[in-house]
Amino acid sequence: MTDSWTRSLAGHLIDCGVEPAEAQNMAADAAAEAEIAGTAPESLYGPALAYAATLARAARPVDGDPLDRATGRVLLRLDGVSKRYRRRWVLRDVSLTLRGGEVAAVVGANGSGKSTLLSICAGATRATRGVVQRTRRVGFAPQQHGVSAWLTANEHFELFGAVEGMNRSRATTVGTGLARQLGWNPRPRQIADQLSGGTQQKLNVVLSELHRPDLILLDEPYQGFDQESYVDFWDQVYAWRDAGAAVLVVTHLLHDLQRIDHVLELSPVDDA
């Protein structure tokens, strides 16, 4: 049983792009740790396929190439995108190609243009220069003001669902299900203004994925999350990715970066 799980893990690691020798070592280490713990590796780590994906991400260098994994068609393409507000450039020559089944992180200091870039990808802001191509079906969670203070979660689901022609019952069912995946059970009569900051952000995230978009744009969506919610959020991001969606996340938490396919680091533009 242990040997079969270990062989399976090594095979899946190789499928994920890990060198065969390293994959064998990693699988053997995992089996040894399970033996020390006195339990079967499957009980300790779960299915070999899922654990292989986690191990492969952890093994990849931060600045390495995207994981060798099946990806879909291009859903977002930025080529030489720049943005100027009056005389000040806030973005210069940003390029990125994001396919279905990939996650990209936009990182950078305050004022480096992260939110502006996301707004350009959403289509809410026009780039001054460069080419932006994007799939039509997009979900967008802005950093602030993404929800209405006076509406309940169900009313938000109804409103956002109506954009895609979802009736009230379906929108509420889908929204509630997605909220539960983030560890939140919305109360029917509680308006957004009465939710904690972290729970408002969960609502913000759920609204971005309510209509099952091909591309999800998230602007630092986990502000106010506790540790458990933060882990749930990233699990959700990888669930979207595994379902074929492309995800672009603005983040400043560096330890996220080893789990993602592309890192786009922005720096404040020097006009001088």
Partner 1 sequence: MRLLIRTVALTSLKELSRRRVALLFVFLLPLAFFVLRIEVHWQALRFLAIGVGWAIATLALFSHVASRRIDSRLAVMGASPSALFLGRQLALVTLGLITAGAYFVVAAVSLDVPRLAAVALLLATTVLIAAPLGALVSMLIPRELEGALALLAIMAMQLLADPASTAARLLPFWSTRELSSYAIEPVGVEVLHSGLLHAAVTLAVAFALAWVVSVLRIRTVKLVEPT
- Interface with partner 1 (CB under 8 A): 73-77, 122-126, 132-140, 142, 144-148, 150-151, 155, 158-160, 162-165, 167-168, 191, 207, 211, 213
Q: From the CB of 200, what's the least distance to partner 1, in Å?
A: 13
Residue with smaller CB distance to partner 1, 60 or 114: 114
Would you state the structure tokens that stand for residue 244, as one six-digit string?
Answer: 């074929």
Q: At its nearest, how many Å lie between partner 1 and the CB of residue 50?
A: 30
Identify which of residues 40 and 159 has a Cβ nearer to partner 1 in the complex: 159
CB 232 to partner 1: min, Å: 23
Q: Which is nearer to partner 1, 158 or 256 (CB)?
A: 158
CB of 131 to partner 1, least distance (A): 9
Are the C-beta atoms of residues 4 and 45 closer than 8 Å to each other?
no
Give me the phi and psi of 162, to 5 degrees please.
-60, -25
Rounded least distance, CB 77 to partner 1, Å: 5
Mode of pairing for the β-strands spanning 138-141 and 246-250: unpaired
Pairing of strands 88-99, 74-85: antiparallel
User: Quick count: other Cβ atoms within 10 Å of Cβ 267?
Assistant: 11
Beta-strand ranges (E) seen in 203-259 are 215-219, 246-250
Minimum distance from CB of 136 to partner 1 (Å)? 7
Q: What is the H or E stretch that residue 134 is in?
A: strand 129-134
Residue identified by tokens 């720049």 is: 82
Select 146 or 175, whichever has its Cβ closest to partner 1: 146
**Residue closer to partner 1 (CB basis): 32 or 124:** 124
Query: In what helix (H) or strand (E) does residue 138 lie, and over which residues does it extend?
Result: strand 138-141
* Closer of 107 and 122 to partner 1 (Cβ): 122
Q: How far is the CB of 135 from partner 1 (least distance, A)?
A: 6
What whole-number distance in Å separates Cα of residue 260 and Cα of residue 103? Answer: 5
Residue 183 region by backbone torsions, left for phi larger than 0, else alpha for psi between -120 and 50, else beta: left
Q: Which is nearer to partner 1, 18 or 210 (CB)?
A: 210
Give the DSSP letter string of 59-115. Answer: HS-TTSPPPS----SEEEEEEEEEEEETTEEEEEEEEEEEETT-EEEEEE-TTSSHH
What tokens does 133 get? 């191509």
**Residue whose CB is less far from partner 1, 7 or 170:** 170
Q: Which two tokens stand for residue 190?
A: 């509680």
